């Protein structure tokens, strides 16, 4: 069963997966992802810590794409951009605005290491699942909007507003980290 709304249980550092564990863990993740979709909570990816297993394995399933992330790391990342509405099966109904890379090179250290490139939505999902393997949650990578205190009215800084740090730059080009 997928762990829901329990940050403490999800903030675990994972151990590498042994070759003999890979098949069983992938099958278990696939069953849980399918069950989640069957009960009305579809998702694209799932990491082992989300089902209570502290192992470096996650899956991504989207249409014709079937990616198994086993003992992985990102070796290169390109084109950072804002991704709106990133969600997580462990925090149903919640979505966040995040900074993610649009293209990543992943080294998959399964039985025989190999690398591949993920782009677009698949890159975002892979980064999300790999974050889970390091105990990093969606709330940790969410873009925090600054609040401008203007007298009695507090308002969120919009991307094209001048940055509250008084740099005279647009917020998105300054403290908004490239919004």
Radius of gyration of the chain (CA): 18
Is 30 catalytic? The answer is no
Judged on CB neighbours under 10 Å (0-12, 13-18, 19+), 172 is middle
**Distance (Å, rounded) from C-alpha 162 to C-alpha 169?**
6
Residues 6+ apart with CB under 8 A from 162: 168, 169, 170, 171
Residues 6+ apart with CB under 8 A from 76: 104, 105
174, two tokens: 């300054």
> What is the number of residues in the chain?
179
Options 32, 86, 96, 129, the catalytic residue: 129
CA-wise closest residue to 119 among 76, 90, 86 = 76
Residues annotated as catalytic are 129
């Amino acid at each position: 069963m997928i762990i829901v709304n329990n940050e403490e249980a999800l903030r675990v550092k994972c151990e590498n997966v042994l070759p003999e564990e890979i098949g069983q863990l992938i099958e278990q993740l696939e069953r849980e992802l399918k069950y989640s979709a069957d009960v009305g909570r579809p998702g694209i990816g799932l990491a082992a810590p989300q089902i209570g297993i502290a192992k470096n394995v996650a899956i991504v399933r989207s249409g014709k794409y079937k990616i198994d992330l086993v003992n992985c790391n990102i070796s290169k990342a390109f084109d950072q951009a804002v991704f709106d509405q990133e969600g997580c099966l462990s925090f149903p109904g919640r979505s966040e605005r995040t900074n993610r890379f649009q293209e990543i090179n992943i080294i998959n250290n399964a039985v025989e290491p190999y690398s591949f490139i993920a782009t677009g939505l698949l890159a975002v999902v892979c980064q999300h699942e790999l974050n889970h393997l390091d105990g990093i949650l969606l709330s940790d990578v969410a873009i925090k909007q600054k609040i401008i205190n203007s007298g009695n009215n507090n308002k969120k800084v919009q991307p094209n507003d001048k940055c509250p740090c008084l740099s005279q730059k647009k917020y998105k080009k300054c403290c908004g980290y490239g919004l």
